[in-house]
A and B are shown apart, each in its own frame.
Chain A
Amino acid sequence: MLCMGKNDQQAVQATLAGDKDAYGVLVVRHSPNLLRVAFRITGNEADAEDVVQEALLRGYRKLADFDQRAQFGTWIYRIAVRCALDRIDAGRRDGRLNGRMEANLPRVGEESDPEQQSVQVADEAAGPERLLLSGEIGALQQAALGSLTPIERAAFVLRHLEDRGSEEIGAALGIAPNAAKQAVFRAVQKLRVRLAALRVSA
């Protein structure tokens, strides 16, 4: 049974002092946040759950290096973002994630394939217009995100969906704040082109 009375700092100190269960307190407390951002970046539930576990394992191994003046939540969040990026890279290398995300959207300049779009939605007969009008834009959005580089995708998610500033995005991605801002801009430009293509095809 985990003792949830400890705050993050106390739990970190107890963990480093040999109380392994104290880390369980941190896991229980932060797992939902990590799952949310991991899913938004990877776009896949199974990958997101793997990312959460990987981030928490990596955090445990690096806990001795954690500066206890900082917030554990922020620290483990950044680790989860890195893990999610690693997951996207790994998926792209074996073609799994890329294919899953991009299979549903037409390339720029290509005609969209209504049958292909239907793979990601409940109504197999629905076309892009149907998708947009019926609130199934989430599937299209995920597919559009799949066209971005991992850094652009993560930067956009953190800026647009997680409401993080450029400083925080840069810190999470290991890049300068201005580079993070540029990554967000490129992501938005690409996404708008994708969405415009859908509207035209609809």
Chain B
Amino acid sequence: MNHLLDEALLAHFYGESESETESAFAVESHLAKCAACSAAYAALRRDLAAMQAVDLPARDAEYGERVWRSIAPLLPAYEKPKKSWLQMGLWRGLSYAAGCALLVAGSFAAGRLWEQRQQHGPVAAQNPQPKPAVKEHVVVVVLDDHLDRSERLLVELKHADAGSEETLQPLRDEARALLVANRICQKDAAVKDDPQLATALQRLDQLLDEMTNQPDGLNAATLAQLQQEMNANGLLFEVRVLRSRVAGQQAARAGLPKRDNAVGGTI
């Protein structure tokens, strides 16, 4: 039988046995069977029991206070922790960002609220039906086309036969159509300060107006009157001259599209 080492006995005494062979149960079992080890352990216990603490007489309750008073003057106070510039900058940046976000959100909410009030307010109640969009007819009139059509109309008018109703009605319809375009061209001529064109178009306007607005329609008497007026004013000739001039201007602007002579208006 192997005897227990002093180290194992000491560990057993302090309750710090580590290995399985030195476990409290193993040591106790061994001590119960081994007289030598049992005697050695008893001697160890006796010696350690003799080593008792020799403490100071107990201090009074003021001892701690006295210690504090003795060392307090030697202690500099800790400085209060300061926030680093990085933390300050971060917090400041976050504050600005939060403020901006709040401002944007507030503006959005106010806008939505205002929009809702506009939709459901008293004005809306008075006009529950949405106002229909105004349809604007934009007519693009090309001057030389207009003059060309006018010239053809005048030629047909010059040679028209008063006895044929079928011939006169298309003339009247064409006159009505040209009347609108002619007024647009008149305005354009006034804007462009072209007196020759403006005068000719004005005469054409009067003729077209009479063709269109005869209460009884075109008949032999009115047809003869119109033909007389047209010839008296030299209107056909004047239209031809203007058409020729416009064509010349187009030629001068070689390369430009015909649409450059277009004038626009709203009816």
- By a beta-carbon cutoff of 8 Å, the part of chain A in contact with chain B is 2, 15-20, 23-24, 27-32, 35-36, 39-40, 45, 48, 52-53, 56-57, 60, 63-64, 137-139, 141-142, 159-161, 165-166, 181, 184-185, 188-189, 191-192, 195
Contacts and interface: CB of A to CB of B under 8 A. Distances in A.
A17 B77 CA distance: 9
Q: Is the interface of A mostly helix, strand, loop or mixed?
A: helix
Contacts, number: 96
The 8 closest A-B pairs by CB, nearest first: A28-B64, A138-B54, A20-B77, A31-B64, A27-B68, A24-B68, A18-B80, A161-B53
Interface in B55-75: 55-56, 59, 63-65, 67-68, 70-72, 74-75
Contacts of B85: none
Given A20-B77, A138-B52, A32 B72 contact: no
Interface residues on B, range: 20 to 34
A40 B72 contact: no
Contacts of A142: 54
A18 B54 contact: no
B81 interface: yes
Contacts of B68: 2, 24, 27-28, 31
Nearest to A24: B68
Nearest to A166: B16
Best-buried of B50, B64, B72 by chain A (most CB within 10 Å): B64
Interface of B: 6-7, 10-11, 14, 16, 44, 47-48, 50-56, 59, 63-65, 67-68, 70-72, 74-75, 77-81
A183 to B, nearest CB: 12
9 contacts: A15-B78, A17-B78, A18-B78, A57-B75, A63-B78, A138-B52, A188-B48, A192-B44, A195-B47
B25 to A, nearest CB: 20
Contact of A60 (B54, B70, B75): B75
B218 to A, nearest CB: 110
Nearest to A135: B52
A52 B56 contact: no
A32 B63 contact: yes
Contacts of B63: 31-32, 35
A180 B71 CA distance: 32
Given A31-B63, A185-B10, A18 B79 contact: yes
